[in-house]
Amino acid sequence: MEQHDLVTKDDSGKPITIDTERGGLRAVLHHKDADTRAMILVGGIDGGFNGPSDLYRDLAEALTSANISALRLDFRVHGSPGNIPEAEYDTMRGIDYLRGLGIRSIALVGHSFGGAVVITVAHQRDEVKAVITLSSQTYGTRPVANISPRPLLLVHGGDDQRLPPSCSEYLYARALEPKELVIMQGATHSLRQRREDVFNLLRDWLKEKLVD
């Protein structure tokens, strides 16, 4: 099945393919021409557009109404343990694409493996103004301190058995201000049990922190 086939008919996003030197990069775009702010949302090693508990579509639709565009990005390379350099390349091309639409300020949001990817990318691009990780791994996160002075939000499920909350606690300890750590008690790796709380937290945090 083509990945774009996973975009449902009631999805307000537009399926696109970004041409790169390494092949087509599939994404779903939520965008209004006047927007100058946007977020890029990436998943884990299995890729896909929807993120944990299908959170990304709802978040994209909510923030588009607040004049923040969204690019839900699917990595070209899937599978364990995850290829950080290739995923980093994909995210960089997503930034370039948004820049071509007139976007000046970008937030990066990554789940699990994607958390390491957005940390790796953030310090390399001035357009990145805010970073969120969800249930992040620690491998590949050495540059986390370099995100400062841009705000960083780390969210983790208190009952995560795949990547324990100590992963985000470790990242928080290494990061510099401004930084926030939120442990969602009762939530597992997907954060499904606290989905509404996570959605509200991310929506409000991005509205406040992603400045033009």
Q: How many structural domains is the chain composed of?
A: 1
The residue ranking higher by pLDDT, 212 or 206, is 206
- The verdict on residue 192 lying in a domain is yes
Q: What percent of the chain has pLDDT over 70?
A: 95
Q: What are the beta bridge partners of residue 9?
A: none
- The verdict on residue 2 lying in a domain is no
- The verdict on residue 171 lying in a domain is yes
* pLDDT at res. 12: 83
Mean pLDDT of the chain: 95
Domain span including residue 34? 11-209
Q: Supply the CATH number for residue 22's domain.
A: 3.40.50.1820
Model confidence at 66: pLDDT above 80: yes
Beta strand pairing status for 68-73 and 23-30? antiparallel
Beta strands of the chain (E only): which ranges? 14-20, 23-30, 37-42, 68-73, 105-111, 128-134, 152-157, 179-184
- The verdict on residue 141 lying in a domain is yes
pLDDT band at 212 (very low <50, low <70, confident <90, very high): confident
Instruction: Give residues with Cβ within 8 angstroms of 31, minimum separation 6.
Output: 14, 38, 64, 69, 70, 101
* pLDDT at res. 3: 46
**145-182 pLDDT, tens digit each:** 999 999 999 999 999 999 999 999 999 999 999 999 99
Q: What percent of the chain has pLDDT over 90?
A: 91
- The verdict on residue 1 lying in a domain is no
pTM of the entire predicted model: 0.95
**1-29 pLDDT, tens digit each:** 344 555 665 678 999 999 999 999 999 99
* pLDDT at res. 9: 58
Which phi and psi (to 5°) does residue 157 adopt? Answer: -80, 135
* pLDDT at res. 4: 52
Q: State the average pLDDT over residues 126-151.
A: 98
Model confidence at 94: pLDDT above 60: yes
